[in-house]
Amino acid sequence: EFLGVNKIITIDIHAPAVTGSVSAKTAFEDYEAGFTGINWFINNIKDKSEICIVSPDAGAIKRAKTFHANFEASGFKDQIGLAMMHKERKVANVVDSVTVIGDVKGKHCIIVDDMIDTAGTLCKAASELKDHGAKSVYAFATHGLFSGPAASRIRESVLDKIIVTDSVKHDN
């Protein structure tokens, strides 16, 4: 604001609370990018009735519901499932356990989140979905950070494919 900024535009902001850190003189717009990933799944998963959108935690349920609504807007109303993961942490940044809430048996699960950082939560969630009978597990995220052990965790995981936007530039 001091420099004359009067509008801030973000894409899938991780912490919406920061929008309150500016005065009313500055407009804050946050856009969701979920619609950008829909076409890949529409073109690559044959039976849409076998798709289940999965929120990796309670904080991402709104994003998962929006992704689900994007499928419905694309002509797949009442065909796509919705589930959620409940995760518990005993120590900060360490997921102790995850629980599946919803029916994922025989489904192509798509975990939808705003970002993938070290991929710890994502890989645990994918494993839990497979343990509950998921046919395949994909992930869609707006921001692919892929920090630290992310690459090795993903390689060793049960994830079939990860789709991300180009919001973060990677050299390889």
Whether 46 sits among the annotated catalytic residues: the reply is: no
Parallel, antiparallel or unpaired: strands 108-116 and 51-55: parallel
Beta bridge partners of 101: 84
Residues 12 and 164: their CA atoms lie apart, in Å, by 12
Residues 129 and 107: their CA atoms lie apart, in Å, by 9
- DSSP letter, residue 50: G
Is the distance from CB of 37 to CB of 45 less than 8 angstroms?
A: no
Label residue 115 exposed, middle or buried (CB < 10 Å: 0-12, 13-18, 19+). Answer: middle
Catalytic pick among 46, 87, 107, 169: 87
Parallel, antiparallel or unpaired: strands 94-101 and 81-91: antiparallel
Q: How many CB atoms lie within 10 A of CB 101?
A: 13
Residues with a known catalytic role: 87
